[in-house]
Copies of this chain bind each other. A is one copy, B any other.
Amino acid sequence: MCGIVAYVGERTAYPILIKGLKRLEYRGYDSAGIALINNETYLYKCKGKVKDLENIVKGKEISGSIGLGHTRWATHGEPNDINAHPHQSQNGKFIIVHNGIIENYSHLKKELINRGFSFKSDTDTEVLANLIENIYLEKKVPAELAVRLALTKVVGAYGLVIYCSDEPGQLIAARKGSPLVIGIGDNEYFMASDATPIIEYTDKVVFLNDEEVAVIDTEHLELKNLHNDAKTPQIHKIELSIDEIDKGDYEHYMLKEIHDQPTSIEDTFRGRISMDHSKIFLGGILDVLPKLINARRIIIVACGTSWHAGLVGEYLLEEYAKIPVEVEYASEFRYRKPIIYPDDVVIAISQSGETADTLAAIRLVRKLSDATILGICNVAGSSIARETDAGVYTHAGIEIGVASTKAFTAQITVLTMMAFLIGHRKKLIPDSDYLELVNALTEIPDKMREIIKNEGFIKDVANQYTDVTNALYMGRGLLYPVALEGALKLKEISYIHAEGYPAAEMKHGPIALIDENMPVFVLAVKDDSYDKIVSNIQEVKARNGKIVAIVTQGEKTIKKMANHVIEIPACHRSLAPLLAVVPLQIISYQIAVKRGCNVDQPRNLAKSVTVE
C-alpha cells in the first residue's frame, strides 16, 4: 500500500505534493513525509496524516521545484516519525519513497551492516536506500545504474521514486508489483501511485510496467528496463474529472459512494443492455465468449470485498450458466499448487486492479496453464486489466472510501450480467425468462433509491447498536456472501468484531456466542430458503440474541420475532444481494460515525492492497 507522489518541473513542488498526498491517503495514513530540493534538501516527516505534516512544515523552507512525497501504510516497523518516508541513505546521497515490501530486506540489511552501514529506522526502505548508495559508491556508476543494479538484488514489490544529490534536477522512478503513473506536462513531470494527484495538471500519462525504470528531468523522460533496454513510453489519455474525486456535500466519501450506487450501477449497465432489454452486450469479453460457454470450470480469484462479490458470482454462474465455480482467496490460491485445466476460465476481481495477491494469482495461472483469464476491475488501465485476456470494467467511478461499497455492487452487477448472458447463449435461459431477468436487473437502481430514501429509519436502527462490542451476520444462499460483506464493513470502519456466517453453520459453533448482548443481523428476504432462515432466527431468539432482520417489504412472520426489521423492496430472488447489502452499508456507516471513527480512513487499513 502507501502512496507516492513526486514532481520535477518549474513550479513550486510543495502544494502539488501535499494535495496529491491527500488524494492518496486512501492508500495509507500511518505517517507522511516529503523531501523538497532547492539546492539544499529539506526533509519533513511525521507520524500521522498529511494534515499533521502540513502543521510541521508551517513556516519552514518549501520553495523547491523538485520533490518527493509519501503517505504510509506500515509493513515493517511501527508507524512513527523515524519510520516515515522519505528515507535517506547513510551518506545522504539518496532520498527515496517506496510503496511495496522488500521481502529479503533482513538478509540485505545484514550484509550492509557487515559493510559498515548503520540504520536509523526499522524499514525495508532504508535498506534499499543504503543498498543503492553502497553500489553507487563502490562501483562509481551513475545513480540510474546503481538503482538498476540494486533492484536486481531485491525480492519483493516496489513503486519507487529516488533522488540522488549528486545528480540534481533528476528523479528516477521504478516499478515492480506496486503501481506507478507518470503524468506528462509542459516541461514538468508528475509521478504518483495513481492518477488522482495528476489530473488537474495533465491528462497525458504513462503507466510504468514491471521492472521498468524511468529517468526524468524537467525536459526528458527516458524509459528502460532493468537491463538497460530502451522502452518507448506509451502515452495514455486519462478521463478522470476532479468532480469524481470530490465528496461534494457529503460528510464522507463512503456516504457519497453508498448514495452513488443507483447511478453507478446504471453506469455499469450503460451501453451494455439493449433498449428493449432483450440483449446484454459485454464488449470486453465478446472474443472469449466461446471459451466461457465451453468452460468446464470457472475459478474466481479475489481478496476482501471482491472475494465476497465472487461468492455471489459463484451462485449465479452455477445456477444460470451451469458452470461449476470455485472462489479462491488469491493469497491462498497462489500457494496451493492449484490444478488448472486449459478449459478453465479464471476471473480476477479487484476494484483497483492492482491488488498484489490477485495480480500474482493470475500471473501464476498464466505460468501454469493455457486457461483464459478475465478481469473485473474498476480502474481502467490497471495492471490486472492489462494483464488479462479480456474483461469487463465495472465503471463504478473512482472509489475513495477505504471500505468498498459501490465497487462491490458494480462487481455483482457485472457478474450477474455475465451469468445471464452465458446462460442465455447456452440456451439454458429461454428468451422470455431472459427478458424478465434483464428487466428485473434494470429495476434495481430505482429500488436502491427507495432503500436510500429510508436512510433515516435505518440510521435510527443503527443508533441502537452503537455500543455493541460484537456482532454476527447471517444469511443463506446468495445472501450468505452479503452477510460476510456486512460483517466486513462493520469491522473495517467501526472496529466492532463482526463475523458473517452461513445461517445453518451457526449451530456448529458460533451460536455459543449468543446471549442478550449479541446483535445478529439476519438477511431474511422472501426466497427459497425463507422458511429455513425463519428456523435459524428462532434458534437465535431462543438464546435471547437481538435480531435485526433485512426483510422483504410486507413481511409479517419475522416482524413478530425480530427486534428490528428493515424492509427492502421485493425483487427477483437472484438480485437480492444488490439491494440487501445497502442497509448493511448504511448501518455500518452510521455506527462508525456515531462511534467517532474515521470512516474514510479507518485505522490500519489502506484502499488498495498492493503488498502481499
- Interface pair A77/B542, CB less than 8 Å apart: yes
Q: How far is the CA of A514 from the CA of B507 in the complex (A)?
A: 27
Known: A326-B326, A337-B318. A606 touches B507 (CB 8 A): yes
Which of A112-120, A445-453, A524-532 binds B?
Answer: A524-532
Asked if B542 and A79 make an inter-chain contact with CB atoms under 8 angstroms apart, the answer reads yes
Interface flags for A307-339 (1: CB within 8 Å of B; 0: not) read 100000001001100111010011110011111
CB-defined contacts of A529 to chain B, threshold 8 Å: 335
Q: Which of A29-80 contact B (CB under 8 A)?
A: 30, 74-79
Structural contact, B491 and A305, CB atoms closer than 8 A: no
A334 closest partner in B (C-beta): B504
Q: Which residues of B contact A101 (CB under 8 A)?
A: 535
Contacts of A504 in B (CB 8 A): 303, 329-332, 357, 612
A325 CB to nearest chain B CB (Å)? 9
Per-residue CB proximity of A536-574 to B under 8 Å, as 1/0? 001101111000000000000100000000000000000
Q: How large is the interface on A (under 10, 10 to 19, 20 to 34, 35 or more residues)?
A: 35 or more
Least distance between A540 CB and chain B CB atoms (Å): 9
Please pick, from B329, B505, B515, the residue contacting A331 in the complex, using a CB distance under 8 A.
B505
A604 CB-CB contact with B under 8 Å? yes
- Known contacts A318-B338, A528-B335, A329 near B611 by CB under 8 Å: no
Q: Tell me the chain A residues, 465-479 only, with Cβ under 8 Å from chain B.
A: 469-470, 476-477
A281: chain B residues within 8 A (beta carbon): none
CB <8 Å contact, A544 and B502: no
Q: Are A531 and B602 in contact (CB under 8 A)?
A: no
A212 to B497, CA, bound (A): 46
Report chain B residues within 8 Å CB of A596. Answer: none
Contacts of A77 on B, CB cut-off 8 Å?
538, 542
Point out the residues of chain B lying under 8 angstroms from A538, CB to CB.
75-77
For residue A280, give the distance in angstroms from its CB to the closest CB of chain B: 21
A511 at the B interface (CB under 8 A): yes
Per the bound structure, the CA–CA distance linking A324 and B328 in Å amounts to 12
Given A303-B505, A469-B469, A512 contacting B495 (CB threshold 8 A): yes
| Contacting residues, chain B, for A543 (C-beta < 8 A) | 74, 78, 603-604
Q: Is B491's CB under 8 angstroms from A335's CB? A: no
- Interface status of A367 (Cβ within 8 A of chain B): no
Q: Which of B305, B319, B331, B470 contacts A337 (CB 8 A)?
A: B319
Interface contact A491-B509, CB-CB below 8 Å = yes
The answer to the question of A480 belonging to the interface, with a C-beta cut-off of 8 Å to chain B, is: yes
Alpha-carbon distance between A365 and B606 when the two chains are bound, in angstroms: 43
| A76-B538, A512-B604, A535-B612 known; A502-B331 Cβ under 8 A | yes
* A235: chain B residues within 8 A (beta carbon): none
Name A residues whose Cβ lies closer than 8 Å to a Cβ of B: 1, 30, 74-79, 101, 103, 106, 297, 303-305, 307, 315, 318-319, 322-324, 326, 329-332, 335-339, 357, 469-470, 476-477, 480, 488, 491-493, 495, 497, 499, 502-505, 507-515, 528-529, 531-532, 535, 538-539, 541-544, 557, 602-606, 609, 611-612
Q: 17 A-B Cβ contacts within 8 A?
A: A30-B542, A74-B539, A74-B542, A106-B557, A303-B504, A307-B505, A335-B477, A335-B528, A336-B477, A488-B508, A491-B510, A491-B512, A493-B512, A495-B512, A495-B513, A497-B499, A511-B605
